Structure 1
Amino acid sequence: MSHHNLYIDNKLVISRDFKAPKNLVFKAWSEAERFEQWWGPAGFSTSVINFDFRPLGFCHYCIESPDTLKMWGRFIYKEIIPNKKIEFLNCFSDENVGVIRAPFNETWPLEMFNILTLEEDNGITTLTLIIAPYNASDTEIRTFGENHENMELGFKGTFDRLEDYLLKN
């Protein structure tokens, strides 16, 4: 575990409050037809190709930009505690579910480990997402560390979409 400290030091923590019960927020992540309504950058459409929400199951999806650029992604679920926690590995993938390099950066970590937790208080659910490079080289870990701000912006856009979805449901 020589990379353990780097993994801890380079984690990105994103937290957001939603005016929704935690079981609904959990459903937004755990049901394909909900997930595809909000996942991905603003302006993109998401289609789920495979969605097997259980430990060691996987989600394979495609996001498409307004100018029809397609990108695929994959989640492999690790630990799932209903309405409380989802641990998963995610990566960019090809249409055959293989792992590929991020299209925007050749030193981006191939896979990232995510721990999502939900806590509800007075009808407000706090979603906390911890993201860290997984099995990454020193260069990949450094690239990830240098891009925390970009990732925060990206997730802000995605979580804005989640917020809109939750308000309507």
Structure 2
Amino acid sequence: MPMNGPTAVERTSDREMVVSRTFDAPAQVMFEAWSMAGLFRRWWVPRSMGLSLRSCEMDVRIGGGYRLEFDLGEAKTMAFFGKYLEVTPYSRIVWTNDESEGGTRSPR
């Protein structure tokens, strides 16, 4: 799935941003790459940073959640997690994002 053009980032508020990318692939393939844990794990992990994905849980539906936990080495982990706000098959996925060291929720 080669990217077709630059990544566009728009800051919509002090807590929100929209990231847009265009890929040369059918919408169904792209949706499945973002919504199926087995496919997501294959491409999303930033290997160039030497990270490995310890766990990947995804419940891709409105109100569902996700949790990605990275192994940082030396018994340290980093977790990203959030909820799915919008899910329109083959068109759009909107989610929240939070992160913490040690795989636990950050205090708010």
Normalised TM-score (structure 1): 0.46
Could you tell me how far 1:9 is from its partner in structure 2? 4.7
Residue in 1 aligned with 2:23?
A: 18
Q: Contact 2:37 / 2:56 at 8 angstroms: preserved in 1?
A: no
- Which runs of structure 2 are paired with 1:116-135 in the superposition (5 Å)? none
1:9, 1:100 → 2: CA distance?
21
Structure 1 gaps of 5+ residues are 1-6, 102-109, 111-169
1:118-160 Cα deviation digits (max 9, x unpaired): xxxxxxxxxxxxxxxxxxxxxxxxxxxxxxxxxxxxxxxxxxx
Query: Which residue of 27, 34, 47 corresponds with 2:32?
Result: 27
Structure-2 change in CA distance of 1:89 and 1:12 (3 Å):
closer
- CA gap of 1:8–1:27, structure 2 versus 1, over 3 A, is same
Give SS of 1:87's match: strand
Q: CA RMSD in A?
A: 2.5
Identity in percent:
29
TM-aligned CA distance change 1:22 to 1:63, over 3 Å: same
Q: Which has the higher contact order (CA 8 A, sep 6+)?
A: 1
Give, in whole Å, the separation in 2 of the partners of 1:9 and 1:59. 23
Greater C-alpha Rg: 1
> Do residues 100 (structure 1) and 82 (structure 2) align?
no
Deviation at 1:47, TM superposition (A): 3.5
Structure with the higher fraction of residues in helix conformation: 1
User: Does the alignment pair 1:85 with 2:89?
Assistant: no
* Cα distance in 2 for residues equivalent to 1:8 and 1:40: 26
- Structure 1 runs of 4+ off > 4 angstroms? none
**Cα distance change, pair 89–72 in 1 and its aligned pair in 2 (3 A):** same
Q: Does 1:8 align with 2:12?
A: yes
Query: Unpaired segments of 5 or more residues in structure 2?
Result: 1-10
